[in-house]
Chain A
Protein backbone atom coordinates (compact mmCIF):
# COMPACT_ATOMS: atom_id res chain seq x y z
CA UNK A 1 0.00 0.00 0.00
CA UNK A 2 2.75 2.35 0.96
CA UNK A 3 4.82 1.54 -2.12
CA UNK A 4 1.80 2.17 -4.29
CA UNK A 5 1.44 5.59 -2.63
CA UNK A 6 5.07 6.35 -3.37
CA UNK A 7 4.68 5.47 -7.01
CA UNK A 8 1.57 7.63 -7.23
CA UNK A 9 3.42 10.51 -5.69
CA UNK A 10 6.41 10.16 -8.02
CA UNK A 11 4.10 9.99 -11.02
CA UNK A 12 2.25 13.04 -9.77
CA UNK A 13 5.45 15.01 -9.34
CA UNK A 14 6.65 14.04 -12.80
CA UNK A 15 3.36 15.04 -14.35
CA UNK A 16 3.30 18.40 -12.60
CA UNK A 17 6.85 19.15 -13.74
CA UNK A 18 5.98 18.20 -17.32
CA UNK A 19 2.82 20.29 -17.21
CA UNK A 20 4.75 23.29 -15.99
CA UNK A 21 7.36 23.04 -18.72
CA UNK A 22 4.66 22.48 -21.32
CA UNK A 23 2.78 25.53 -20.12
CA UNK A 24 5.83 27.74 -20.21
CA UNK A 25 6.74 26.78 -23.79
CA UNK A 26 4.94 29.68 -25.49
CA UNK A 27 6.73 32.15 -23.29
CA UNK A 28 10.09 30.45 -23.71
CA UNK A 29 9.49 30.47 -27.45
CA UNK A 30 9.02 34.24 -27.43
CA UNK A 31 12.21 34.64 -25.42
CA UNK A 32 14.07 32.40 -27.87
CA UNK A 33 12.68 34.32 -30.84
CA UNK A 34 13.72 37.64 -29.40
CA UNK A 35 17.34 36.43 -29.33
CA UNK A 36 17.29 35.02 -32.86
CA UNK A 37 18.57 37.00 -35.82
CA UNK A 38 15.58 38.70 -37.48
CA UNK A 39 15.43 36.39 -40.48
CA UNK A 40 15.49 33.26 -38.35
CA UNK A 41 12.25 34.22 -36.60
CA UNK A 42 10.31 33.78 -39.81
CA UNK A 43 12.37 30.94 -41.21
CA UNK A 44 10.51 27.99 -42.74
CA UNK A 45 10.46 25.45 -41.15
CA UNK A 46 10.62 27.21 -37.78
CA UNK A 47 13.17 26.19 -35.16
CA UNK A 48 12.42 26.45 -31.48
CA UNK A 49 15.84 27.47 -30.21
CA UNK A 50 17.97 30.16 -31.82
CA UNK A 51 20.75 28.81 -34.00
CA UNK A 52 22.77 31.94 -33.63
CA UNK A 53 22.48 34.20 -30.63
CA UNK A 54 21.76 37.79 -31.58
CA UNK A 55 20.46 41.00 -30.08
CA UNK A 56 19.61 42.35 -33.49
CA UNK A 57 15.89 42.34 -32.65
CA UNK A 58 16.37 44.64 -29.70
CA UNK A 59 18.15 47.14 -31.92
CA UNK A 60 15.34 46.69 -34.40
CA UNK A 61 12.79 47.41 -31.69
CA UNK A 62 14.45 50.60 -30.54
CA UNK A 63 15.03 51.65 -34.12
CA UNK A 64 11.43 51.15 -35.09
CA UNK A 65 9.76 52.87 -32.17
CA UNK A 66 10.60 55.09 -29.29
CA UNK A 67 10.53 52.11 -26.96
CA UNK A 68 12.14 53.80 -23.99
CA UNK A 69 9.67 56.68 -24.07
CA UNK A 70 6.75 54.25 -24.37
CA UNK A 71 8.02 52.22 -21.43
CA UNK A 72 8.34 55.38 -19.36
CA UNK A 73 4.81 56.39 -20.30
CA UNK A 74 3.49 52.97 -19.32
CA UNK A 75 5.38 53.05 -16.06
CA UNK A 76 4.45 56.57 -14.98
CA UNK A 77 0.79 56.10 -15.89
CA UNK A 78 0.65 52.78 -14.06
CA UNK A 79 2.41 53.96 -10.90
CA UNK A 80 0.64 57.30 -10.51
CA UNK A 81 -2.82 55.91 -11.22
CA UNK A 82 -2.21 53.06 -8.80
CA UNK A 83 -1.24 55.41 -6.00
CA UNK A 84 -4.34 57.54 -6.54
CA UNK A 85 -6.65 54.53 -6.80
CA UNK A 86 -5.10 53.02 -3.70
CA UNK A 87 -5.42 56.10 -1.50
CA UNK A 88 -8.94 57.08 -2.52
CA UNK A 89 -10.17 53.52 -2.91
CA UNK A 90 -8.97 52.26 0.46
CA UNK A 91 -10.43 55.29 2.22
CA UNK A 92 -13.80 54.91 0.54
CA UNK A 93 -13.87 51.15 1.11
CA UNK A 94 -13.13 51.66 4.81
CA UNK A 95 -16.00 54.08 5.18
CA UNK A 96 -18.39 51.71 3.41
CA UNK A 97 -17.29 48.66 5.37
CA UNK A 98 -17.44 50.26 8.79
CA UNK A 99 -20.50 52.42 8.51
CA UNK A 100 -22.85 49.47 8.68
CA UNK A 101 -25.59 51.61 7.23
CA UNK A 102 -28.03 50.15 4.76
CA UNK A 103 -26.58 52.63 2.30
CA UNK A 104 -23.29 50.79 2.47
CA UNK A 105 -24.78 47.58 1.05
CA UNK A 106 -26.14 49.55 -1.87
CA UNK A 107 -22.69 51.05 -2.38
CA UNK A 108 -20.97 47.67 -2.24
CA UNK A 109 -23.32 46.29 -4.87
CA UNK A 110 -22.68 49.37 -6.96
CA UNK A 111 -18.92 48.93 -6.66
CA UNK A 112 -19.21 45.29 -7.69
CA UNK A 113 -21.29 46.22 -10.73
CA UNK A 114 -18.82 48.94 -11.71
CA UNK A 115 -16.04 46.41 -11.47
CA UNK A 116 -17.80 44.21 -14.01
CA UNK A 117 -18.26 46.92 -16.64
CA UNK A 118 -16.49 45.94 -19.86
CA UNK A 119 -13.91 48.57 -20.72
CA UNK A 120 -14.58 48.21 -24.42
CA UNK A 121 -18.07 49.59 -24.01
CA UNK A 122 -17.28 52.69 -21.99
CA UNK A 123 -14.08 53.83 -23.67
CA UNK A 124 -15.84 56.04 -26.15
CA UNK A 125 -17.74 58.26 -23.75
CA UNK A 126 -14.48 58.40 -21.79
CA UNK A 127 -12.68 59.39 -24.97
CA UNK A 128 -15.16 62.19 -25.63
CA UNK A 129 -14.86 63.39 -22.07
CA UNK A 130 -11.07 63.46 -22.22
CA UNK A 131 -11.14 65.35 -25.50
CA UNK A 132 -13.58 67.87 -24.02
CA UNK A 133 -11.21 68.40 -21.12
CA UNK A 134 -8.36 68.95 -23.58
CA UNK A 135 -6.39 66.07 -22.14
CA UNK A 136 -6.15 63.88 -25.24
CA UNK A 137 -2.75 62.24 -25.64
CA UNK A 138 -1.48 63.28 -22.22
CA UNK A 139 -0.21 61.11 -19.43
CA UNK A 140 -2.61 62.88 -17.06
CA UNK A 141 -5.53 61.50 -19.03
CA UNK A 142 -4.20 57.97 -18.70
CA UNK A 143 -3.53 58.45 -14.99
CA UNK A 144 -6.99 59.68 -14.10
CA UNK A 145 -8.81 57.19 -16.28
CA UNK A 146 -6.80 54.23 -14.97
CA UNK A 147 -7.31 55.46 -11.42
CA UNK A 148 -11.07 55.65 -11.93
CA UNK A 149 -11.40 52.37 -13.80
CA UNK A 150 -9.30 50.44 -11.29
CA UNK A 151 -10.74 52.02 -8.17
CA UNK A 152 -13.67 49.58 -7.86
CA UNK A 153 -11.11 46.80 -7.94
CA UNK A 154 -9.07 48.37 -5.11
CA UNK A 155 -12.22 48.91 -3.08
CA UNK A 156 -13.32 45.35 -3.62
CA UNK A 157 -9.98 43.93 -2.48
CA UNK A 158 -9.77 46.23 0.53
CA UNK A 159 -13.35 45.46 1.58
CA UNK A 160 -12.48 41.84 2.10
CA UNK A 161 -9.41 42.79 4.12
CA UNK A 162 -11.30 45.22 6.35
CA UNK A 163 -13.87 42.53 7.01
CA UNK A 164 -11.17 40.50 8.69
CA UNK A 165 -10.23 43.24 11.15
CA UNK A 166 -12.32 43.23 14.33
CA UNK A 167 -14.26 46.43 14.90
CA UNK A 168 -13.13 46.42 18.54
CA UNK A 169 -9.90 47.98 17.30
CA UNK A 170 -11.77 50.95 15.88
CA UNK A 171 -13.76 51.22 19.10
CA UNK A 172 -10.59 51.23 21.20
CA UNK A 173 -9.12 53.97 19.04
CA UNK A 174 -12.36 55.91 19.32
CA UNK A 175 -12.36 55.64 23.11
CA UNK A 176 -8.78 56.88 23.11
CA UNK A 177 -9.98 59.97 21.31
CA UNK A 178 -8.85 59.29 17.77
CA UNK A 179 -10.86 60.83 14.97
CA UNK A 180 -12.23 58.61 12.23
CA UNK A 181 -9.42 59.59 9.92
CA UNK A 182 -6.76 58.95 12.57
CA UNK A 183 -8.28 55.56 13.29
CA UNK A 184 -8.11 54.78 9.61
CA UNK A 185 -4.60 56.00 8.92
CA UNK A 186 -2.87 55.08 12.19
CA UNK A 187 -4.66 51.93 13.28
CA UNK A 188 -6.37 50.20 10.39
CA UNK A 189 -4.06 50.88 7.45
CA UNK A 190 -0.89 49.60 9.17
CA UNK A 191 -2.66 46.30 9.84
CA UNK A 192 -3.84 46.20 6.25
CA UNK A 193 -0.38 46.41 4.74
CA UNK A 194 -0.68 42.98 3.10
CA UNK A 195 -4.02 44.04 1.65
CA UNK A 196 -2.54 47.26 0.36
CA UNK A 197 0.38 45.40 -1.15
CA UNK A 198 -2.00 43.03 -2.90
CA UNK A 199 -4.15 45.83 -4.25
CA UNK A 200 -1.05 47.76 -5.29
CA UNK A 201 0.50 44.96 -7.31
CA UNK A 202 -2.74 44.07 -9.01
CA UNK A 203 -3.73 47.58 -9.89
CA UNK A 204 -0.23 48.26 -11.13
CA UNK A 205 -0.40 45.26 -13.46
CA UNK A 206 -3.89 46.11 -14.63
CA UNK A 207 -2.73 49.57 -15.64
CA UNK A 208 0.60 48.37 -17.03
CA UNK A 209 -1.08 45.68 -19.13
CA UNK A 210 -3.89 47.89 -20.35
CA UNK A 211 -4.17 48.22 -24.08
CA UNK A 212 -7.63 49.43 -25.04
CA UNK A 213 -7.76 52.66 -23.03
CA UNK A 214 -4.30 53.71 -24.13
CA UNK A 215 -5.14 52.80 -27.71
CA UNK A 216 -7.98 55.31 -27.76
CA UNK A 217 -6.61 58.04 -25.53
CA UNK A 218 -3.10 58.41 -26.86
CA UNK A 219 -1.46 58.96 -30.22
CA UNK A 220 2.18 60.07 -29.93
CA UNK A 221 3.25 61.84 -26.75
CA UNK A 222 1.65 59.61 -24.17
CA UNK A 223 1.61 56.37 -26.19
CA UNK A 224 2.18 53.36 -23.98
CA UNK A 225 4.24 50.31 -24.72
CA UNK A 226 1.27 48.03 -25.40
CA UNK A 227 -0.02 50.38 -28.08
CA UNK A 228 3.47 50.52 -29.56
CA UNK A 229 3.63 46.73 -29.59
CA UNK A 230 0.27 46.47 -31.30
CA UNK A 231 1.75 48.65 -34.04
CA UNK A 232 3.65 45.56 -35.14
CA UNK A 233 0.36 43.84 -35.93
CA UNK A 234 -0.09 45.64 -39.19
CA UNK A 235 3.60 45.41 -39.98
CA UNK A 236 5.30 43.00 -42.34
CA UNK A 237 6.59 39.65 -41.19
CA UNK A 238 10.14 40.89 -40.99
CA UNK A 239 9.19 42.93 -37.95
CA UNK A 240 8.14 39.92 -35.92
CA UNK A 241 11.61 39.65 -34.41
CA UNK A 242 11.50 43.12 -32.88
CA UNK A 243 7.92 42.39 -31.79
CA UNK A 244 9.15 39.38 -29.81
CA UNK A 245 11.91 41.46 -28.30
CA UNK A 246 9.31 44.02 -27.25
CA UNK A 247 6.98 41.39 -25.82
CA UNK A 248 9.87 39.93 -23.87
CA UNK A 249 11.08 43.29 -22.60
CA UNK A 250 7.58 44.27 -21.56
CA UNK A 251 6.58 41.10 -19.76
CA UNK A 252 9.87 40.14 -18.18
CA UNK A 253 9.58 42.58 -15.23
CA UNK A 254 6.01 41.39 -14.74
CA UNK A 255 7.14 37.77 -14.54
CA UNK A 256 9.87 38.62 -12.04
CA UNK A 257 7.55 40.65 -9.85
CA UNK A 258 4.93 37.88 -10.04
CA UNK A 259 7.49 35.37 -8.83
CA UNK A 260 8.80 37.57 -6.02
CA UNK A 261 5.46 38.86 -4.82
CA UNK A 262 3.47 35.72 -5.44
CA UNK A 263 2.06 35.70 -1.92
CA UNK A 264 0.24 38.96 -2.55
CA UNK A 265 -0.96 37.93 -5.95
CA UNK A 266 -2.44 34.75 -4.59
CA UNK A 267 -4.17 36.77 -1.90
CA UNK A 268 -5.50 39.23 -4.43
CA UNK A 269 -6.89 36.55 -6.70
CA UNK A 270 -8.54 34.62 -3.98
CA UNK A 271 -10.03 37.80 -2.54
CA UNK A 272 -12.12 37.90 -5.67
CA UNK A 273 -9.75 39.57 -8.05
CA UNK A 274 -10.41 39.96 -11.73
CA UNK A 275 -7.85 40.18 -14.42
CA UNK A 276 -8.63 41.83 -17.70
Chain B
Protein backbone atom coordinates (compact mmCIF):
# COMPACT_ATOMS: atom_id res chain seq x y z
CA UNK B 1 0.00 0.00 0.00
CA UNK B 2 1.28 3.41 -0.82
CA UNK B 3 0.98 5.59 2.25
CA UNK B 4 0.82 8.91 0.51
CA UNK B 5 -0.76 9.58 -2.84
CA UNK B 6 1.11 11.59 -5.42
CA UNK B 7 -1.30 14.43 -4.86
CA UNK B 8 -0.65 14.60 -1.12
CA UNK B 9 3.07 14.30 -1.77
CA UNK B 10 2.93 17.40 -3.92
CA UNK B 11 0.67 19.20 -1.48
CA UNK B 12 3.02 18.58 1.43
CA UNK B 13 6.13 19.22 -0.56
CA UNK B 14 4.96 22.36 -2.32
CA UNK B 15 5.17 24.98 0.48
CA UNK B 16 8.76 24.05 1.24
CA UNK B 17 9.54 23.67 -2.43
CA UNK B 18 8.29 27.17 -3.20
CA UNK B 19 10.60 28.59 -0.55
CA UNK B 20 13.61 26.65 -1.75
CA UNK B 21 12.67 27.26 -5.35
CA UNK B 22 12.55 31.01 -4.90
CA UNK B 23 15.62 31.44 -2.73
CA UNK B 24 17.86 28.53 -3.65
CA UNK B 25 17.04 27.08 -7.06
CA UNK B 26 16.12 30.32 -8.77
CA UNK B 27 19.33 32.09 -7.64
CA UNK B 28 21.37 29.17 -8.95
CA UNK B 29 19.62 29.26 -12.31
CA UNK B 30 19.97 32.99 -12.66
CA UNK B 31 23.62 32.61 -11.78
CA UNK B 32 24.13 30.03 -14.53
CA UNK B 33 22.45 32.46 -16.91
CA UNK B 34 24.62 35.37 -15.74
CA UNK B 35 27.79 33.37 -16.20
CA UNK B 36 27.52 33.65 -20.00
CA UNK B 37 27.45 37.42 -19.93
CA UNK B 38 29.82 40.24 -19.40
CA UNK B 39 27.97 42.43 -16.94
CA UNK B 40 29.08 45.99 -16.41
CA UNK B 41 28.70 47.99 -13.23
CA UNK B 42 25.62 49.68 -14.62
CA UNK B 43 24.07 46.31 -15.36
CA UNK B 44 24.49 46.30 -19.15
CA UNK B 45 24.92 42.80 -20.52
CA UNK B 46 26.87 41.49 -23.46
CA UNK B 47 26.65 37.84 -24.35
CA UNK B 48 30.15 36.43 -24.42
CA UNK B 49 29.51 32.69 -24.43
CA UNK B 50 31.95 30.68 -22.36
CA UNK B 51 34.61 33.38 -22.15
CA UNK B 52 34.12 33.73 -18.40
CA UNK B 53 34.78 30.04 -17.97
CA UNK B 54 37.86 30.18 -20.16
CA UNK B 55 39.11 33.17 -18.19
CA UNK B 56 38.72 31.23 -14.94
CA UNK B 57 41.10 28.52 -16.09
CA UNK B 58 43.75 30.73 -17.66
CA UNK B 59 46.53 32.70 -16.00
CA UNK B 60 45.10 35.44 -13.81
CA UNK B 61 42.04 33.25 -13.34
CA UNK B 62 41.25 31.27 -10.24
CA UNK B 63 43.91 28.58 -10.46
CA UNK B 64 45.78 29.98 -7.48
CA UNK B 65 42.59 30.07 -5.41
CA UNK B 66 41.78 26.54 -6.53
CA UNK B 67 45.18 25.40 -5.34
CA UNK B 68 44.69 27.24 -2.03
CA UNK B 69 41.28 25.65 -1.55
CA UNK B 70 42.66 22.18 -2.18
CA UNK B 71 45.60 22.83 0.12
CA UNK B 72 43.25 24.11 2.80
CA UNK B 73 41.06 21.03 2.49
CA UNK B 74 43.98 18.60 2.56
CA UNK B 75 45.80 20.20 5.49
CA UNK B 76 42.78 21.01 7.65
CA UNK B 77 40.79 17.83 7.06
CA UNK B 78 43.76 15.48 7.41
CA UNK B 79 44.81 16.94 10.74
CA UNK B 80 41.23 17.14 11.95
CA UNK B 81 40.61 13.51 11.12
CA UNK B 82 43.78 12.25 12.77
CA UNK B 83 43.25 14.34 15.90
CA UNK B 84 39.54 13.57 15.97
CA UNK B 85 40.15 9.82 15.94
CA UNK B 86 42.94 10.13 18.49
CA UNK B 87 40.79 12.21 20.83
CA UNK B 88 37.85 9.85 20.43
CA UNK B 89 40.01 6.90 21.47
CA UNK B 90 40.96 8.73 24.66
CA UNK B 91 37.48 9.99 25.37
CA UNK B 92 35.93 6.61 24.74
CA UNK B 93 37.02 5.32 28.12
CA UNK B 94 34.41 5.00 30.80
CA UNK B 95 35.13 6.53 34.16
CA UNK B 96 33.38 8.67 36.68
CA UNK B 97 32.96 12.16 35.31
CA UNK B 98 33.81 11.26 31.71
CA UNK B 99 30.52 12.74 30.58
CA UNK B 100 31.46 16.15 31.96
CA UNK B 101 34.87 16.10 30.31
CA UNK B 102 33.30 15.02 27.04
CA UNK B 103 30.71 17.77 27.26
CA UNK B 104 33.35 20.40 27.93
CA UNK B 105 35.39 19.18 25.01
CA UNK B 106 32.40 19.56 22.75
CA UNK B 107 31.46 22.99 24.03
CA UNK B 108 33.24 24.90 21.21
CA UNK B 109 31.40 22.76 18.68
CA UNK B 110 28.72 25.29 17.89
CA UNK B 111 30.71 28.50 18.20
CA UNK B 112 30.28 30.75 15.19
CA UNK B 113 33.10 30.29 12.65
CA UNK B 114 33.39 34.06 12.61
CA UNK B 115 34.06 34.13 16.35
CA UNK B 116 36.61 31.34 15.95
CA UNK B 117 38.34 33.39 13.28
CA UNK B 118 38.37 36.52 15.42
CA UNK B 119 39.68 34.57 18.41
CA UNK B 120 42.61 33.19 16.48
CA UNK B 121 43.28 36.48 14.82
CA UNK B 122 43.69 37.98 18.26
CA UNK B 123 45.87 35.13 19.48
CA UNK B 124 48.08 35.10 16.39
CA UNK B 125 48.67 38.82 16.27
CA UNK B 126 52.34 39.54 15.70
CA UNK B 127 52.92 42.00 18.52
CA UNK B 128 50.52 41.18 21.33
CA UNK B 129 49.46 37.67 20.26
CA UNK B 130 49.60 35.01 22.94
CA UNK B 131 50.59 32.24 20.51
CA UNK B 132 53.95 33.71 19.56
CA UNK B 133 54.63 34.80 23.12
CA UNK B 134 54.10 31.21 24.23
CA UNK B 135 56.22 29.79 21.42
CA UNK B 136 58.98 32.21 22.31
CA UNK B 137 58.86 31.33 26.00
CA UNK B 138 59.02 27.62 25.24
CA UNK B 139 61.98 28.34 23.04
CA UNK B 140 60.62 27.37 19.64
CA UNK B 141 60.85 30.94 18.46
CA UNK B 142 63.73 33.18 19.38
CA UNK B 143 61.53 36.27 19.43
CA UNK B 144 57.71 36.66 19.47
CA UNK B 145 57.75 38.43 16.13
CA UNK B 146 59.57 35.66 14.25
CA UNK B 147 56.43 34.33 12.62
CA UNK B 148 53.95 36.83 11.27
CA UNK B 149 51.10 34.36 11.04
CA UNK B 150 48.66 36.61 9.29
CA UNK B 151 50.98 38.93 7.40
CA UNK B 152 53.35 36.36 5.94
CA UNK B 153 52.37 34.71 2.67
CA UNK B 154 53.91 31.45 3.80
CA UNK B 155 51.82 31.21 6.95
CA UNK B 156 48.48 32.91 6.32
CA UNK B 157 46.72 29.87 4.92
CA UNK B 158 48.19 27.64 7.62
CA UNK B 159 46.95 30.10 10.26
CA UNK B 160 43.43 29.82 8.85
CA UNK B 161 43.76 26.03 8.86
CA UNK B 162 44.68 26.11 12.55
CA UNK B 163 41.53 28.04 13.43
CA UNK B 164 39.50 25.61 11.34
CA UNK B 165 41.13 22.65 13.05
CA UNK B 166 40.40 24.10 16.49
CA UNK B 167 36.77 24.57 15.58
CA UNK B 168 36.13 21.17 14.01
CA UNK B 169 38.22 18.57 15.82
CA UNK B 170 35.35 18.22 18.34
CA UNK B 171 33.07 17.40 15.43
CA UNK B 172 35.37 14.67 14.10
CA UNK B 173 35.77 13.37 17.64
CA UNK B 174 32.02 13.28 18.12
CA UNK B 175 31.45 11.36 14.90
CA UNK B 176 34.20 8.85 15.67
CA UNK B 177 32.91 8.47 19.20
CA UNK B 178 29.42 7.76 17.91
CA UNK B 179 30.87 5.10 15.67
CA UNK B 180 32.96 3.55 18.43
CA UNK B 181 30.06 3.42 20.82
CA UNK B 182 27.99 1.59 18.24
CA UNK B 183 30.56 -1.22 18.10
CA UNK B 184 29.83 -4.55 19.65
CA UNK B 185 32.31 -4.77 22.52
CA UNK B 186 32.47 -8.56 22.24
CA UNK B 187 34.53 -8.17 19.08
CA UNK B 188 37.28 -6.19 20.78
CA UNK B 189 37.04 -8.54 23.75
CA UNK B 190 37.61 -11.48 21.44
CA UNK B 191 40.57 -9.74 19.84
CA UNK B 192 42.00 -9.02 23.26
CA UNK B 193 41.76 -12.68 24.22
CA UNK B 194 43.45 -13.61 20.94
CA UNK B 195 46.35 -11.44 22.06
CA UNK B 196 45.85 -8.30 20.00
CA UNK B 197 47.52 -5.32 21.63
CA UNK B 198 46.05 -1.83 21.93
CA UNK B 199 47.39 -0.58 18.62
CA UNK B 200 46.33 -3.70 16.77
CA UNK B 201 42.84 -3.38 18.22
CA UNK B 202 42.66 0.20 17.04
CA UNK B 203 44.06 -0.25 13.56
CA UNK B 204 42.76 -3.68 12.61
CA UNK B 205 39.41 -3.74 14.36
CA UNK B 206 38.06 -0.41 15.54
CA UNK B 207 38.96 1.83 12.62
CA UNK B 208 37.97 -0.63 9.86
CA UNK B 209 34.67 -1.25 11.62
CA UNK B 210 33.74 2.42 11.90
CA UNK B 211 34.79 3.13 8.32
CA UNK B 212 31.25 4.07 7.19
CA UNK B 213 30.94 6.69 9.94
CA UNK B 214 34.41 8.01 9.20
CA UNK B 215 33.64 8.29 5.50
CA UNK B 216 30.47 10.23 6.22
CA UNK B 217 32.30 12.58 8.57
CA UNK B 218 35.11 12.97 6.07
CA UNK B 219 32.85 13.87 3.17
CA UNK B 220 30.93 16.36 5.31
CA UNK B 221 34.15 17.95 6.42
CA UNK B 222 35.66 18.10 2.94
CA UNK B 223 32.61 19.92 1.63
CA UNK B 224 32.53 22.28 4.61
CA UNK B 225 36.23 23.02 4.36
CA UNK B 226 35.80 23.77 0.68
CA UNK B 227 33.03 26.22 1.50
CA UNK B 228 34.81 27.95 4.39
CA UNK B 229 34.33 31.68 4.26
CA UNK B 230 33.84 33.18 7.72
CA UNK B 231 37.08 31.98 9.28
CA UNK B 232 39.31 33.11 6.44
CA UNK B 233 37.45 36.37 6.05
CA UNK B 234 37.83 37.14 9.74
CA UNK B 235 41.51 36.29 9.85
CA UNK B 236 43.05 37.53 6.62
CA UNK B 237 40.32 38.48 4.13
CA UNK B 238 42.30 36.32 1.71
CA UNK B 239 45.52 38.29 2.03
CA UNK B 240 48.35 39.02 2.03
CA UNK B 241 48.74 39.05 -1.74
CA UNK B 242 45.86 36.54 -2.07
CA UNK B 243 47.99 33.88 -0.36
CA UNK B 244 45.02 32.67 1.68
CA UNK B 245 42.35 33.29 -0.91
CA UNK B 246 40.08 30.33 -1.48
CA UNK B 247 37.28 29.93 -4.01
CA UNK B 248 34.63 31.23 -1.61
CA UNK B 249 36.68 34.34 -0.93
CA UNK B 250 37.56 35.11 -4.54
CA UNK B 251 33.96 34.67 -5.65
CA UNK B 252 32.81 37.06 -2.96
CA UNK B 253 35.55 39.58 -3.73
CA UNK B 254 34.92 39.46 -7.48
CA UNK B 255 31.32 40.28 -6.75
CA UNK B 256 31.60 42.98 -4.16
CA UNK B 257 34.96 44.59 -4.86
CA UNK B 258 35.43 44.17 -8.59
CA UNK B 259 31.71 44.12 -9.41
CA UNK B 260 32.21 41.49 -12.08
CA UNK B 261 28.98 39.52 -11.74
CA UNK B 262 29.42 37.48 -14.90
CA UNK B 263 32.86 36.18 -14.04
CA UNK B 264 31.96 35.56 -10.39
CA UNK B 265 28.92 33.59 -11.53
CA UNK B 266 31.04 31.44 -13.80
CA UNK B 267 33.42 30.64 -10.94
CA UNK B 268 30.50 29.89 -8.65
CA UNK B 269 28.97 27.56 -11.23
CA UNK B 270 32.24 25.64 -11.54
CA UNK B 271 32.49 25.50 -7.73
CA UNK B 272 28.94 24.23 -7.31
CA UNK B 273 29.37 21.61 -10.03
CA UNK B 274 32.54 20.35 -8.36
CA UNK B 275 30.81 20.07 -4.98
CA UNK B 276 27.71 18.41 -6.39
CA UNK B 277 29.79 15.86 -8.31
CA UNK B 278 31.75 15.16 -5.13
CA UNK B 279 28.51 14.79 -3.17
CA UNK B 280 27.06 12.37 -5.70
CA UNK B 281 30.23 10.27 -5.70
CA UNK B 282 30.19 10.14 -1.92
CA UNK B 283 26.41 9.58 -1.82
CA UNK B 284 26.91 5.96 -0.85
CA UNK B 285 28.38 6.96 2.47
CA UNK B 286 26.03 9.88 3.06
CA UNK B 287 22.84 8.16 2.15
CA UNK B 288 22.20 4.58 1.29
CA UNK B 289 18.72 3.76 -0.03
CA UNK B 290 19.20 0.09 0.79
CA UNK B 291 19.48 0.97 4.46
CA UNK B 292 15.72 1.26 4.64
CA UNK B 293 15.05 -2.36 3.75
CA UNK B 294 17.01 -3.91 6.59
Binding site for B on A (CB under 8 A): 8-9, 12-13, 15-17, 19-20, 23-24, 26-27, 29-30, 33, 41-46, 48, 84, 88-89, 91-92, 94-96, 98-101, 103-105, 107-109, 112-114, 116-126, 128-129, 144-145, 147-149, 151-152, 155, 163, 167, 170-171, 174, 180-181, 184, 205, 208-209, 211-212, 216, 226, 229-230, 232-233, 237, 240, 243-244, 247, 250-251, 254-255, 257-259, 262, 265-266, 269-270, 272-276
Contact = CB atoms under 8 A, between A and B. Distances in A.
Contacts of A184: 12
Given A230-B114, A247-B119, A91 B12 contact: yes
Contacts of A251: 111-112, 115
A7 to B, nearest CB: 13
Closest A-B pairs by Cβ, 3 of them: A121-B268, A95-B12, A125-B27
Nearest to B23: A148
Given A27-B111, A125-B30, A229-B118, A151 B128 contact: no
Interface string B21-60: 0111111101100100000000000000000000000000
Contacts of B216: 272
Given A91-B13, A274-B224, 4 more contacts: A122-B31, A128-B30, A250-B115, A251-B112
Contacts of A119: 227, 229
Contacts of B129: 46
Interface string B269-289: 101100110111001001101
A153 B120 CA distance: 28
A32 to B, nearest CB: 10
A144 B10 CA distance: 21
A26 B107 contact: no
B166 to A, nearest CB: 6
Most buried by A among B109, B198, B251: B109
B227 A29 contact: no
A43 B125 CA distance: 12
Contact of B3 (A128, A174, A230): A174
B118 A247 contact: yes
Contacts, number: 308
B23 A105 contact: no
Contacts of A89: 16
Interface in B153-212: 166, 168-171, 174-175, 178, 198
B239 to A, nearest CB: 12
Interface string B115-132: 110111111000111100
30 contacts: A12-B93, A16-B93, A16-B98, A16-B101, A42-B127, A92-B15, A96-B13, A98-B4, A100-B4, A104-B9, A112-B279, A116-B275, A118-B226, A118-B272, A120-B251, A124-B264, A125-B27, A128-B30, A152-B24, A174-B3, A208-B112, A209-B110, A243-B118, A255-B111, A258-B106, A262-B103, A270-B174, A273-B220, A276-B224, A276-B230
A129 B114 contact: no
A75 to B, nearest CB: 14
A43 B234 contact: no
A29 B119 contact: yes
A92 B17 CA distance: 8
A73 to B, nearest CB: 15
A88 B21 CA distance: 13
A126 B27 CA distance: 6
